[in-house]
Chain A
Amino acid sequence: GDSVTQMEGPVTLSEEAFLTINCTYTATGYPSLFWYVQYPGEGLQLLLKATKADDKGSNKGFEATYRKETTSFHLEKGSVQVSDSAVYFCALRKSNFGNEKLTFGTGTRLTIIP
């Protein structure tokens, strides 16, 4: 079945450091890929997405590129801030439609220290 493998955390970085959170997937066909963020005490929010190979999703300084050849969708940010402290989830969906289920990775807890 479909699965998402995510870099285990927790990850602790200093402010302005470079961030990479690795994510690889296993799925048949051409899934859509997502990064969701969960801030403390809140629900999940979509951070960025990519729907086909070589697409780059970006938002709030975060980027991830859909790499079909390596089945990866690594999350990167050039300079993190304290406000980026949250749990980040990589996810995939088999179709482009919102009424299809998502398969999540285990989540990576990120803490940014001043």
Chain B
Amino acid sequence: GAVVSQHPSRVICKSGTSVKIECRSLDFQATTMFWYRQFPKQSLMLMATSNEGSKATYEQGVEKDKFLINHASLTLSTLTVTSAHPEDSSFYICSAGPRGSYEQYFGPGTRLTVT
């Protein structure tokens, strides 16, 4: 099946700094990618829908100025957590579906720890 990668898999940063997470579709083009956040022992919460070549669509309650999303190409979306704080520590997961396909594939996730 199709592969979605994320980088880095783990990152530790200091409070107040920014961190960028990449999501790549390795063998297909994705006009749409999704960013989820997963708290310990909880479900995935959709943060935003990343659209290639246009602005992301954020879910209610998600700060778009804090979680910057850029979908610059058909195979890459980035999530930048700006001015990170300890409460931003979480597991961030992206997903993407090939254009015209039924399937949606998930990346392995990025664990962010803000100290």
A-to-B contact residues, CB < 8 Å? 36, 42-46, 51, 89, 93, 96-107, 109
Contacts and interface: CB of A to CB of B under 8 A. Distances in A.
Interface string B71-86: 0000000000000000
Contacts of A36: 106
Interface residues of B, number: 26
A99 B32 contact: yes
Contact of A106 (B42, B49, B106): B42
Interface of B: 30-32, 34, 41-44, 46, 49, 93, 95-109
Contacts of A96: 102
A107 B102 contact: no
A43 B97 CA distance: 15
A1 to B, nearest CB: 10
Contact of A98 (B49, B103, B107): B103
B66 to A, nearest CB: 20
B103 A99 contact: no
Main secondary structure of the interface of B (DSSP, over half): loop
A109 B38 CA distance: 14
Contacts of B102: 51, 96-98
Nearest to B57: A101
Nearest to B100: A97
30 contacts: A36-B106, A42-B108, A43-B93, A43-B107, A44-B93, A44-B106, A46-B103, A46-B104, A89-B43, A89-B44, A97-B100, A97-B101, A97-B102, A98-B97, A98-B98, A98-B102, A98-B105, A99-B30, A99-B31, A99-B32, A99-B96, A99-B97, A100-B97, A102-B46, A104-B44, A105-B43, A106-B42, A106-B43, A107-B41, A107-B42
